[in-house]
């Protein structure tokens, strides 16, 4: 068993409660987490859920890091865990190259290739949006919480000491989208949001 006493495995949801519970249980195969929590919070829509992840998730985490999972995204290969990831404040699956000039980009235009909601976050990063009073507003008409943290407010978080994972680390950590760089490769976790991960679908 891998012991991760400094990591809280967590899910926050108001829907598909039983599926989230199964995802938490499946993610515990081979790993002893410091805590495992299912936070049931009603969210009228995905935008409100994203706001709660950005500003409220830290209220439920007492360890140095948390691993946020979903009913369609969780740990599948626990043996691929790397302790070096605990030196990061955010690590998610790699993002594809965008087909436009604004997706996966910071306000200054820097292209970001690592994000995704299912992933590892430090307690420090979780608490900063509220501490810094970051404004909650849309970016090109979306409120995606991973974009909020990894792109829109990346500079503020980095100025406060947050370290984001590299593309190379993300390739081993997780997958959401099929890319040329991850074709045929196993990962620690997955997220089937885009419907591109048939290999791991239906495990729970």
- The verdict on residue 119 lying in a domain is yes
- The verdict on residue 41 lying in a domain is yes
Residue 31 is inside which H or E element, if any? strand 31-40
Beta carbons within 8 Å of 81's beta carbon, 6+ residues apart = 2, 4, 31, 188
Domain count, the chain: 1
- The verdict on residue 55 lying in a domain is yes
Give the pLDDT of residue 197: 75
- The verdict on residue 12 lying in a domain is yes
Tell me the per-residue pLDDT of 74-120, one tens digit each, with 9 for 90 and over: 999 999 999 999 999 999 999 999 999 999 999 999 999 999 999 99
Phi-psi region of 171 (alpha: psi -120 to 50; beta: other; left: phi over 0): alpha
- The verdict on residue 47 lying in a domain is yes
Whether the per-residue pLDDT at 5 is higher than 80: the answer is yes
CATH number at residue 92: 3.90.550
- The verdict on residue 196 lying in a domain is no
Smallest CA-to-CA distance from 190 within 124, 120, 135, 118 is with 118
Band of residue 200 on the pLDDT scale cut at 50, 70, 90: confident
Average pLDDT, the chain: 95
- The verdict on residue 201 lying in a domain is no
184: containing domain: 2-190
Tell me the per-residue pLDDT of 46-76, one tens digit each, with 9 for 90 and over: 999 999 999 999 999 999 999 999 999 999 9
- The verdict on residue 204 lying in a domain is no
What does pTM read for this prediction?
Answer: 0.96
Angle between helices 123-131 and 46-56 (to 10 degrees): 100
């Amino acid at each position: 068993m891998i012991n991760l006493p400094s990591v809280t495995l967590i899910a926050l949801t108001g829907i598909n409660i039983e599926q989230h519970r199964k995802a938490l249980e499946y993610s515990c195969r081979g790993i002893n987490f410091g805590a495992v929590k299912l936070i049931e919070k009603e969210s009228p829509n995905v935008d409100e859920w994203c706001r709660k992840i950005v500003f409220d998730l830290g209220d439920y985490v007492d360890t140095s890091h948390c691993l946020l999972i979903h009913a369609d995204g969780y740990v599948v290969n626990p043996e691929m865990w790397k302790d070096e990831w605990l030196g990061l404040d955010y690590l998610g699956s790699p993002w594809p190259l965008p087909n436009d000039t604004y997706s996966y980009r910071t306000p200054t235009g820097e292209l970001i290739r690592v994000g995704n909601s299912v992933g590892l976050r430090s307690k420090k990063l979780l608490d900063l949006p509220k501490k810094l009073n970051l404004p909650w507003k849309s970016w090109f008409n979306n409120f995606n919480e991973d974009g909020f943290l990894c792109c829109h407010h990346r500079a503020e978080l980095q100025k406060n000491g947050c370290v984001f994972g590299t593309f190379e680390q993300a390739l081993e950590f997780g997958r959401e989208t099929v890319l040329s760089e991850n074709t045929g490769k196993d990962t620690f976790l997955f997220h089937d949001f885009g419907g591109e991960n048939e290999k791991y679908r239906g495990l729970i």
